[in-house]
Amino acid sequence: MPAEFSGAIYRLGHGMVRDKDSHNRISTAGAEGGVAELKQFFQFTGLHDGIVDDFPNPPHGLHVPTLPGKWIIDWRRYHKVLLTNPAGVPLNPSRKIDPFVLPAASVARRVSLPFRNLKRGARFGLRSGQDVTREMKIQDALTLQEITKGADGAAANKHHRHTNTPLSDYLLKEAEQRGNGGKLGPVGGTLLAEVFLGLVHGEHRSCLWQRGKNWKPILPSKAPDSFTMADLLRPVGDISPIDGVSLV
């Protein structure tokens, strides 16, 4: 796996994840469980490396809470699985892909998440966003005006990083400026897509090796020539077990 992937572009989720979600009928604002908070998910999944505020490393041997049954996901709140929404179930859109990451309440007190990302990139020896753009021969590089926009851009300019931008920061800024925060830019999109394509191509039983064998995908999709996460979820059937909503 390329260091540019694990140390930079695939950390884009740190900017997209929400601090609070309407997770299901029980774990939502005004309901029995209250709004679902990100730090609770970290607790339930047993991650105790100090990432999450308010949940210090438990003494050895203490029970770690697991995911309660009332936290079973309602997929309607994360993807448009159903064609209609008569119940008016709210949708949790992700945050935009941009240089602004998790709210402070979700991140450890001692070390900020952006600092961790920058430290990881330095440890991996990642080259700057400008260097990677040139190496990939991508012509549509960010301009200095784009890089220095906003509060993060002013900080980059102040610390002389506007011409030698850390790769992770460059890719987030590229998504903000070129994709309006809704999609990756040319460098980030290429890095992400080529790694996933390489992984699929490395599995010789994958669809990429079925050429000339009259192979076609068997799962249906809502729109021709596209396949979304919602399309993948529909055949599973259990859309919201708590509400008894199923498609099978």
% of the chain beyond a pLDDT of 90: 47
The confidence score (pLDDT) of residue 159 equals 92
Q: Report the C-alpha gap between 141 and 133 in whole angstroms.
A: 7
pLDDT (mean) for 134-161:
93
In single-letter form, the type of residue at position 218 comes to I
Residue 51: per-residue pLDDT: 40
In this prediction, residue 55 carries a pLDDT of 43
* Top mean-pLDDT range of 110-124, 141-155, 232-246: 141-155
Question: Model-level pTM?
Answer: 0.81
pLDDT on residue 102: 57
The predicted pLDDT at position 149 comes to: 94
Q: What are phi and psi of 119, to 5 degrees?
A: -65, -40
Q: How confident is the model at residue 49 (pLDDT cuts 50, 70, 90)?
A: very low
Of 72, 79, 88, nearest to 243 by C-alpha is: 72
Report pLDDT for 64: 55
| 3-state SS class at 238 | strand
The answer to whether residue 18 scores a pLDDT higher than 50 is yes
pLDDT at residue 179 in the model: 93
Residue 52's pLDDT band, with cuts at 50, 70 and 90, is very low
pLDDT at 71 over 90: no
Average pLDDT over every residue of 15-22: 86
Q: How confident is the model at residue 100 (pLDDT cuts 50, 70, 90)?
A: confident
What's the mean pLDDT in 17-40? 86
Q: How confident is the model at residue 15 (pLDDT cuts 50, 70, 90)?
A: confident
Q: What is the pLDDT of residue 54?
A: 41
Task: State how far the Cα of 42 lies from the Cα of 55, in Å rounded to an integer.
Answer: 9
Read off the tokens for 32.
């029995």
Give the distance between the most distant pair of CA atoms in the chain.
58
% of the chain at pLDDT higher than 70: 84
- H/E run at residue 51: none
Task: Note the pLDDT tens digit of each residue in 176-229.
Answer: 999 999 999 999 999 999 999 999 999 988 888 887 767 777 888 888 888 999
Number of H helices, E strands in the chain: 10, 4
Domain boundaries, the chain: 1-15+110-208
